[in-house]
A and B are shown apart, each in its own frame.
Chain A
Amino acid sequence: MFLNALEHMARRKLLLIVGILSLCYLLLFWRGIASVNSQSLGAESGIPTSNADMAYAALSIAGSMLSVVVWGLTIVLGASILPDEMEAGRMSIWAALPQSRFKVYASTTLAPLIVSIVFGYLLFGLTAVITAFYAPFTPSSIPLAVLSMPIWLSATWAFVILFSMIVGKIPAMLITFILEGFAVGMGNIVELAKGVPDLHESTFYTVARIVTFILPFERGYRSVQMGLLPKASLLEEALAFMGFGGDLPLWEIIYPGVWAAILFFIGYRLFLRKDL
Chain B
Amino acid sequence: MTNTAISVDSISKHFGKTVALAENFSIEIAKGQSLAILGANGAGKTTLMRAVLGLAVPDTGNISLYGLSPSDPRSRIGVRFLPERISFPKWATPLQMYRQLERVRNEGREMDFVHRADNLACGDLLSRKLGKMSKGQRQRIAVALMTCGTPHTVFLDEPSSGLDPAGRMLVRSTVAELVDQGSTVVLNSHLLGEVEKVCDWASFIHKGALVAHDRLEDLSQFKGNAVIETLKPDIMKAALNHTGTVKEKTLVYPLASEDGFAEFTALVAGSGVEFTGIKLHKESLEDIFMRIMEGETNVS
Please list the residues of chain A having a beta carbon within 8 angstroms of any beta carbon in chain B: 1, 3-4, 7-8, 11, 88-90, 92-101, 103, 273, 275-276
Within B86-118, the residues touching A (CB, 8 Å) are: 86-89, 91, 100-101, 103-105
Q: Which residue of A lies closest to B89 (CB)?
A: A8
Q: Which residue of B lies closest to A96 (CB)?
A: B81
Considering the chains assembled together, what is the distance between the CA atoms of A8 and B103 in angstroms? 14
Contacting pair A92 B57 (CB below 8 A): no
Of B70-78, B191-199, B233-241, B277-285, which binds chain A? B70-78
Considering the chains assembled together, what is the distance between the CA atoms of A88 and B97 in angstroms? 14
Do A3 and B57 contact each other (CB < 8 Å), given the known contacts A90-B87, A92-B83, A96-B79?
A: no
Considering the chains assembled together, what is the distance between the CA atoms of A194 and B88 in angstroms? 53
Do A275 and B103 contact each other (CB < 8 Å), given the known contacts A92-B83, A93-B81, A96-B81?
A: no
**Residues on A with beta carbons closer than 8 Å to the beta carbon of B91:** 11
The 8 Å CB contact of A7, one of B87, B100, B104, B155, is B100
**Residues on B with beta carbons closer than 8 Å to the beta carbon of A4:** 100, 103-104
Chain A CB within 8 A of B167 CB: no
Closest beta carbon of chain B to A200's beta carbon, Å: 49
Do A276 and B103 contact each other (CB < 8 Å), given the known contacts A8-B89, A11-B91, A92-B83?
A: no
Contacting pair B73 A92 (CB below 8 A): no
**Residues on B with beta carbons closer than 8 Å to the beta carbon of A89:** 83, 85-87
Q: What 16 new A-B contacts, CB under 8 Å, besides A89-B86, A89-B87?
A: A4-B103, A4-B104, A89-B83, A89-B85, A90-B88, A96-B53, A96-B54, A96-B76, A96-B155, A99-B104, A100-B73, A275-B15, A275-B55, A275-B57, A276-B50, A276-B55
Residue interface mask B59-76, A partner, CB < 8 A = 1: 000000000000101111
Contacting pair B100 A98 (CB below 8 A): no
**Residues on B with beta carbons closer than 8 Å to the beta carbon of A275:** 15, 50, 55-57
Contacting pair B57 A95 (CB below 8 A): no
Interface centre among A4, A8, A95, A97 (most CB of B within 10 A): A97
Do A96 and B55 contact each other (CB < 8 Å), given the known contacts A4-B104, A11-B91, A101-B71?
A: yes
**Residues on B with beta carbons closer than 8 Å to the beta carbon of A90:** 86-89
Q: Which 7 A-B residue pairings sit nearest by Cβ, starting from the closest?
A: A96-B81, A88-B87, A275-B56, A98-B76, A97-B104, A89-B86, A276-B55
The 8 Å CB contact of B57, one of A7, A97, A273, is A273
Do A98 and B104 contact each other (CB < 8 Å), given the known contacts A11-B91, A93-B81, A93-B83?
A: yes
**Residues on B with beta carbons closer than 8 Å to the beta carbon of A11:** 89, 91
The 8 Å CB contact of B103, one of A3, A96, A100, is A3
**Residues on A with beta carbons closer than 8 Å to the beta carbon of B74:** 98
Closest beta carbon of chain A to B179's beta carbon, Å: 20
**Residues on A with beta carbons closer than 8 Å to the beta carbon of B53:** 92, 95-96
**Residues on A with beta carbons closer than 8 Å to the beta carbon of B57:** 273, 275
Contacting pair B55 A92 (CB below 8 A): yes
Residue interface mask B104-145, A partner, CB < 8 A = 1: 110000000000000000000000000000000000000000
